[in-house]
Amino acid sequence: MRISKEKAADNRAALIRAASKLFRERGIDGVGVAEISKEAGLTHGALYAHFRSKEELALAALSYGLEQSNSRMYAATSDGMPDLARFLDRYLSLDSRDDYGDRCPMAASASEIGRQDTTISARFAEGYMVMVRAFERQIEHDAPGSDALARAMVVVATLIGSVAVARGAAKGNPAVSDQVLQAARGLLDELMLAHPQARAPARRDDRPAA
């Protein structure tokens, strides 16, 4: 039975959402197409009607996750620039650390992207640079003439890496995990050339986060 274009679009979107969530929770190589189809409430056949391969779906899922993160980063703006201090607080919160399925896909997949194909690697790099450019603009605004790009690249790499390390240590040594997030947040103001401030311990955040 043929379905409408609207229903087909809904099915495709459901597959992308399901794949994005599962890939972030368990890794691209840790999830099969049958599980993705079941999570989306669809069949194997429906998945392959929209995507020629798991790799093609992974690319769409990564793009979806990156778009979510970008939307959150620009949720609050001032003079056209995102509120990056707020974004940093949320990104490095305990909730962000513990919620794999709905947070930054780069932090969730950084360790495995290098094992994926070129298109997925390129999309990861593109998503990374979107975040970098946002921080670069803020740093250049606050300190004209500084090496804003280099600092921004380190800021974003620190964000991604800190969450990845905090997650890796969370079960075995929660204290170390918490300290990673606190230390990262405390140093990022300096990298951004802001005035360092005493940071409160990493906290739970009941608002949407990166």
Q: Is residue 101 part of a domain?
A: yes
* The predicted structure's pLDDT at residue 72: 86
Q: Is residue 16 part of a domain?
A: no
Residue 196: per-residue pLDDT: 40
Query: What pLDDT does residue 204 have?
Result: 63
pLDDT by residue for the chain (210 residues), tens digit each? 567 778 889 999 999 999 999 999 999 989 999 999 999 999 888 888 899 999 999 999 999 999 998 888 888 777 777 888 889 999 999 999 999 888 999 999 988 898 999 999 999 999 999 999 999 998 988 878 888 999 999 999 999 999 999 999 999 999 999 999 999 998 998 887 644 444 445 556 644 444
pLDDT computed for residue 48 by the predictor: 87
Query: What pLDDT is attached to residue 195?
Result: 41
Q: Are 192 and 69 spatial neighbours (Cβ–Cβ below 8 Å)?
A: no
Q: Is residue 37 part of a domain?
A: no
The pLDDT of residue 88: 92
Residue 193: what pLDDT? Answer: 61
**DSSP E strand boundaries for the chain:** 77-78, 81-82
Taking the CA atoms of residue 131, residue 133, residue 136 and residue 141 in that order, the dihedral angle to the nearest 10 degrees is -120
Domain span holding position 93:
61-191
Q: What was the pLDDT predicted at 22?
A: 95
Q: What is the pLDDT of residue 202?
A: 57
Establish if 50 belongs to a structural domain: no
Number of structural domains the chain divides into: 1
Other CB atoms within 10 A of residue 128 CB: 18
With respect to residue 86, please indicate whether it lies within any of the assigned structural domains: yes
Establish if 157 belongs to a structural domain: yes
The enclosing domain of 163 has a CATH number of 1.10.357.10
Q: Is residue 41 part of a domain?
A: no
Residue 133 lies in a domain: yes
DSSP state of 31: -
